[in-house]
Amino acid sequence: MTAKVDCSTMFAPDIERLDRDSLRLLQFGRLRKTLERAYASVPHYRRAFDEMGVAPGDLKSLADIRRFPFTVKTDLRDNYPFGLFAVPREQLVRLHASSGTTGKPTVVGYTANDIATWSDLMARSLAAAGVRPGDMVHNAYGYGLFTGGLGFHYGVERLGATVTPMSGGQTERQIALIQDFGATVLAATPSYALNLVEMAEQMGIDLAAGPLRVGVFGAEPWSETMRAELDRRLGVKACDMYGLSEIMGPGVAIECTSRIGLHGWEDAFLFEVVDPDTMEPLPMGEAGELVITTLVKEGLPMIRYRTRDITRLTDEPCSCGRTHVRILRVTGRNDDMLIIRGVNVFPSQIESVLLGFPGIAPHYQLVVSRQGSMDHLTVEAETVEPRDEDSRQLLAHQVRHHIKSMIGVSCEVLIRLPGELPRSQGKAVRVRDLRKAGA
Ligand code: DLL
């Protein structure tokens, strides 16, 4: 017997609840068209398909996607700025770009239809996270070349809620406006949300006592322990939002209020998980690198884009009634994984251990250096309350021991005083890699 599902709060119930067979059929048709358009309009794809001896007509079933080439971030850089666009530049109404620490930025472009699709997917995502028409949404994602600010902005408007286009920074002012405008929803990176609530507490303001109800947090990895912290201190139900600019921006996948994985919108994207070593597709449920193909994008179709993000997919039914596949929480990027004396560590694993530790504040930084031929990890964490040197030494010893037993990695731990570590204004910088600086 299937439980009765309330779909009155879905933004697009017909498509969100479509049975999986129909969804796959829809995907197949759209994928075929996307491959045809990419082959006909983008020289890079034509070359890449030809090199693999494959043509759009070879797609006879969804599984045939494995015969087509991957796309990687350097393909965008190599075709800078507009080389991967499938329409003349004049047909684009918006550009975004990611800065990148080295080399050229990656540029992404949207037609008017792409912006409409993105707004719809964002509205759907916000509704799934519990945002309703009429809500007051404080948007602290950065506006500008980053897709976060404008992506949320258009989605909130499309849903019929009110958006405050705050962007990042000016934290004290943000707190005043959250209060004055009676924000019911906070949209921010989890690390900035934490910065906000901490500053509010220092100002003697209890945001949890106000009307805030929903948190839509994403754009960086965060742990369940961080979620519990944000739920409690902000008085929200925090949901995880996933996306990336190369594919669209935020709104690729969202946690519904069941919070057991993020629904990836399969009418707009084809999701695969591949083994990062062999590049072979993995069966549902196995962990690997997430690979995404866009199904309806006009300006910048992406074929098998390697996200570098590590996750698992599940198609088990969700109690919310949405049929779209769930992407389990992204614990980190391939590129962010540290290998410390042979042990693989994601910063988010260290975060889980630190945040569960009594007396430790949820701010941390990892410093990786080279000592002789060995990589050395230093974990810097802060205490909640000021403590003397002896007490910090003792705490450092306990934390080190705990990290070793939980994750299996040996590290040095430095306990800092409250406020000593840098606070996030957007995406938090968790790792300082001194090896790259030649130190
Ligand atoms: O971060 C888009 C976004 C904006 C998503 C606002 C959610 C909210 P990029 O700047 O291109 O786009 O960065 C994309 O950020 O490949 C992941 O490594 C990481 N990321 C994004 N969302 C999550 C998440 C935006 N919920 C890259 N959990 C992605 C973990 C995330 N990592």
Residue type, 89: R
DSSP state of 71: B
Instruction: Note the pLDDT of residue 102.
Output: 63
* Full-model pTM: 0.95
Query: What pLDDT is recorded for position 371?
Result: 86
245 CB near ligand 1 (under 6 Å): yes
CA of residue 372 to ligand 1 center, whole Å: 35
Residue 70: CB partners within 8 Å, gap ≥ 6?
279, 291, 303, 304, 305, 306
Task: Give the phi and the psi of residue 402 in degrees, each rounded to 5.
Answer: -65, -45
Provide the phi-psi class of 332: left if phi over 0, else alpha when psi is between -120 and 50, else beta: left
- Report domain 1-333's class: alpha beta
For ligand 1, the distance from its centroid to the CA atom of residue 53, given in whole angstroms, is 33
Q: How far is the CA of 265 from the centre of ligand 1 (A)?
A: 16
* Domains of the chain, residue spans: 1-333, 338-433
What is the per-residue pLDDT for 439?
Answer: 42
Task: Mention every residue, 6+ apart, whose C-beta is less than 8 A from residue 102.
Answer: none
Residues in the chain where the model's pLDDT stays below 70 = 1-4, 100-102, 437-439
User: Which CATH code, of 3.40.50.300, 3.30.300.30, 1.10.3210.10, 1.10.760.10, is assigned to 338-433?
Assistant: 3.30.300.30
The closest-lying atom of ligand 1 relative to the alpha carbon of residue 252 is 5
CB atoms within 10 A of CB 38: 26
Q: Using a 6 Å cutoff on CB, does residue 183 contact ligand 1?
A: no
Measure 234 CA to ligand 1 centroid, in angstroms: 22
Q: What separation in Å is there between the alpha carbon of 386 and the centre of ligand 1?
A: 34
Cis upstream peptide for 88 (omega within 30°): no
Q: Could you give the 3-state DSSP secondary structure of residue 219?
A: coil
Cβ-count burial of 296 within 10 angstroms (0-12 exposed, 13-18 middle, 19+ buried)? middle
Ligand 1 lined by 189 (C-beta under 6 Å): no
Q: Supply 218's token pair.
A: 């994403």
pLDDT for position 342:
82
Q: 1-333 and 338-433: same fold?
A: no
H helix or E strand, kind and range, residue 111: strand 106-111
